[in-house]
Amino acid sequence: MEVLKFGGSSVSSLLSLKNMLQIIKEYDLNDNPLVIVVSALKGITNHLVKLSELLKSNEDSEYRKILKLISDEHYKFMNAIFQETPKGLAQKIKMLEKDLIQTSSILIKKDILTEKDYDRIVSFGELFSANIIAAYLKENELNFSFKDARELIITDNNFTNAKVDWNSTSSVVESFFSKNNNNCYVVTGFIARSIYGDTTTLGRGGSDYTATILGTILKAKKVTKWTDVNGIMTADPNTVLKASSLDNISFDELKNLTKFGSHVLVHPNSINELSKHNIPFLIRNTFNANFKGTQVINNENSSQRVLSIHKSCSMIAFDKKHDLSKQLITEIIDKEYLFFRIKKTDDLNKSYYIVANDCINFFSLNLEETEENIILYSGLKNIKIVDRNIVLITITGKKMVKKQELENIGQLLNKHNIKILGFRFFYNSISLIFKKVDSEKALVVLHEKFTTPIFEVENSLTI
């Protein structure tokens, strides 16, 4: 079997659904049943997040407007893809709509909105979309059934970012699919159920993770993420006109790209699972389905290089005496806020760190919290924000030969009068620190020089 995941833009127009049909028709479904994981329609999760914010702030009339907008978008979409909406689907959507309205009207009365309430609200996006897509495929003679992932994926109750309980999820998924092993399903991405039966979510962008959880447990031949770009590009094509797409990349390299701001976001947990189980992961374009996209495998030998850019970083410093506690470092690493520590030879009394800007918000929030936290984070009183306009450019690729590359990079940037504030080697990559004003030019110059594929001389000798 195989798992195909279709993201928001790949499920939101008649054109994308027609392309989806073509993609599915390439398969012999009797021989190779498919599990299709879908995201909410484009923009819907953001509307639902907004709805939860309005419910929190008791914005009575505003929240009704957004509820209406959410309904309207789904009806508009169904009108675009069906000549006549199938009866069963119309009933299902009406029920979901009612349920969302009712849930909202209960939550607006509450004083505090918990993360559990938030998850309940945002889960509606995938419930709407998966029902619509399943009905669309059925209308087009493809026998797919809707499946609510809350009946398959079990998590802890860490709402908004729940952790999968692999033991129970594996037994539930295995038992469900062994009873129904020749059937094809459209499964809601992103949402799951806690061991106590509440709705949970796997973090923003979590539909990728849903696809890989199912792919891993069902030992899929491969998992394909269908999106709206030609796979992974050597840089963001919006900034670097000459960016091209990669044929292959390793899981470790993809992890670096995701961490350091690649434009093709892949949920980080997905990468770990697939890599551990050696399941190939493909990233392909729903709107250019003949193009083979990028294949991610456990292969150390990708010789191409990719540039990723993280645009909202800061440089912060602490007096060495009041450096960050181990506990706090672990916490911000967990949240992916901390990138690395850098040495500055001109100031040895301070510790310098490059962090995501969100990290500073996190610090200031926690400083205001309970007394306990203030004690815990007391070192933060000495925080010095050196520069809030830092950009990280990371070059990832196997052939990043450390010293020599750094010299080449230094010379190149020098020639263009671009200053590097620091650097860090990590696995197959080097991250370079720039001031924001220099970063776009640096990206273009670096891309020009470092992304040309390098051909292996050794290989040509053995041919």
Binding residues for ligand ASP, per CB under 6 A?
A: 8, 39-40, 45, 125, 189-190, 204-207
The token pair that represents 232 in the structure block = 């992974």
Q: Which stretch binds Mg ion (CB under 5 A): 1-9, 10-18, 143-151, 364-372?
A: 1-9
Report helix, strand or coil for 59.
coil
The token pair that represents 134 in the structure block = 């399943």
Between the two ends of the chain, the Cα-to-Cα distance in Å is: 36
Report helix, strand or coil for 454.
coil
The CA-CA-CA angle for residues 173, 174, 176, to 5°, reads 65
The token pair that represents 228 in the structure block = 């709206």
Report helix, strand or coil for 251.
helix
CB nearer to ligand ASP: pick between 232 and 443: 232
Tell whether residue 280 is a contact of Mg ion (CB under 5 A): no
The DSSP string of 278-346 is: T--EEEEETTSTTS--EEEES-S-----EEEEEEEEEEEEEEGGGPPPHHHHHHHHHTT-EEEEE--TT
Tell whether residue 206 is a contact of Mg ion (CB under 5 A): no
Q: Which residues contact 72 (CB under 8 A, 6 or more apart)?
A: none
Q: Which stretch binds Mg ion (CB under 5 A): 2-10, 12-20, 27-35, 167-175?
A: 2-10
Angle, helices 115-122/44-56, rounded to nearest 10 degrees: 140
> Considering the complex, what minimum distance in angstroms separates the CB of residue 316 from ligand ASP?
29
CB nearer to ligand ASP: pick between 100 and 393: 100
Q: Which residues contact 229 (CB under 8 A, 6 or more apart)?
A: 237, 245, 263, 264, 285
Q: Which stretch binds Mg ion (CB under 5 A): 32-40, 126-134, 338-346, 410-418?
A: 32-40
User: 308 is in the binding site of which of Mg ion, ligand ASP, none (Cβ under 5 to 8 A by kind)?
Assistant: none
> What binding mask, one character per residue, do residues 37-76 give for Mg ion by CB under 5 A, x or -?
--xx----x-------------------------------
Report helix, strand or coil for 192.
strand
User: 189 is in the binding site of which of Mg ion, ligand ASP, none (Cβ under 5 to 8 A by kind)?
Assistant: ligand ASP
> Considering the complex, what minimum distance in angstroms separates the CB of residue 265 from ligand ASP?
9
User: 204 is in the binding site of which of ligand ASP, Mg ion, none (Cβ under 5 to 8 A by kind)?
Assistant: ligand ASP
User: 205 is in the binding site of which of ligand ASP, Mg ion, none (Cβ under 5 to 8 A by kind)?
Assistant: ligand ASP
User: 190 is in the binding site of which of Mg ion, ligand ASP, none (Cβ under 5 to 8 A by kind)?
Assistant: ligand ASP
> What binding mask, one character per residue, do residues 289-308 give for Mg ion by CB under 5 A, x or -?
--------------------
> Considering the complex, what minimum distance in angstroms separates the CB of residue 463 from Mg ion?
46
CB nearer to ligand ASP: pick between 207 and 245: 207
Tell whether residue 8 is a contact of Mg ion (CB under 5 A): yes
Cα distances (Å, whole numbers) of residue 48 to 59, 66, 124, 210, 253: 14, 8, 8, 20, 33
> Considering the complex, what minimum distance in angstroms separates the CB of residue 459 from ligand ASP?
38
Strand blocks (E) in 108-183: 144-147, 154-155
Q: Which stretch binds Mg ion (CB under 5 A): 4-12, 166-174, 267-275, 335-343?
A: 4-12
Size of the site for Mg ion (CB under 5 A): 4
User: 280 is in the binding site of which of Mg ion, ligand ASP, none (Cβ under 5 to 8 A by kind)?
Assistant: none
| Strands laid side by side in the 34-38 sheet | 144-147, 184-188, 34-38, 2-6, 223-227, 281-285, 294-297, 248-250
The token pair that represents 436 in the structure block = 């924001």
User: 397 is in the binding site of which of Mg ion, ligand ASP, none (Cβ under 5 to 8 A by kind)?
Assistant: none
> Considering the complex, what minimum distance in angstroms separates the CB of residue 262 from ligand ASP?
16
CB atoms within 10 A of CB 102: 10
Q: Using the structure block, give the residue that is written with the tokens 């960016």.
A: 243
> Considering the complex, what minimum distance in angstroms separates the CB of residue 8 from ligand ASP?
5
Report helix, strand or coil for 420.
coil
Tell whether residue 9 is a contact of Mg ion (CB under 5 A): no
CB nearer to ligand ASP: pick between 208 and 438: 208
CB nearer to Mg ion: pick between 205 and 397: 205
Using CB under 5 A, list all residues that contact Mg ion: 8, 39-40, 45
